[in-house]
Amino acid sequence: MKKTLYRTLFFGLAALLFTGCGLDLQKNYDYESSVADPHVNVVAWEYFQDHPDIFSEFTEAIEYTGLKDYYTQTENKYTFLALNNTAMQSYRDNVFPGETSITNCDRETVKNMLLYHIVDGEYSSYGELQVEAMFVLTLLPGERGLMTMSVWKNPWQAAVGKILVNETGSNGKSPQRNAKTSNILPTNGVIHIFEKYCYYQQ
């Protein structure tokens, strides 16, 4: 009885496979590959203004500290490490516990933090950065401005091509930060977006 049942099922499934359920075979087609264009054709400041749901506190901090000109100018190319609202809230919670607005925080301290997040020159994974961490020059002077940058190129990871700041062990005890989004190209440099703020620790 069982053998008869198995045979019936087997032949029934085979018949379905051979009939192909009445579907036509897929036709050949030409595949045209394309890569998303990372250029945004606006300066960094305009990019941030176009995404207020992500950067509202970041832009508020920039205006509060008088650093807006760095993000609007076009004479020099900078790498902007942009902090989304999650990163800015984390910064306030850690550095200014209890403060609910960045404009209530010490202006000079916030300014120095933002200067650390502007790197002189263009650094992206399109050739300037390598797998090995390299020192870059931030706009924060002195030892507190030390930073390393590298690019994640492990082919088995989804984060291939994303930017790392202060890769573990490359810059004292500075915490490693991984960009959430990398290689956005405004007309005045490069933008990498972070969910955690970066800082140097000896």
Is residue 186's pLDDT more than 50?
yes
Domain positions in the chain are 44-194
Instruction: Compute the CA torsion angle 49, 151, 196, 159 (nearest 10 deg).
Output: 90
Q: Are residues 179 and 154 in contact, defined by beta-carbon separation less than 8 angstroms?
A: no
pLDDT, tens digit, 9 for 90 and up, residues 118-153: 999 999 998 889 999 999 999 999 999 999 999 986
pLDDT, tens digit, 9 for 90 and up, residues 65-99: 999 999 999 999 999 999 999 999 999 999 999 99
Q: What is the pTM of this model?
A: 0.81
Give dist(CA 166, CA 10) in Å, integer: 61
Q: Are residues 169 and 175 in contact, defined by beta-carbon separation less than 8 angstroms?
A: no
Provide the pLDDT for residue 31. 45
Q: What is the CATH number of domain 44-194?
A: 2.30.180.10
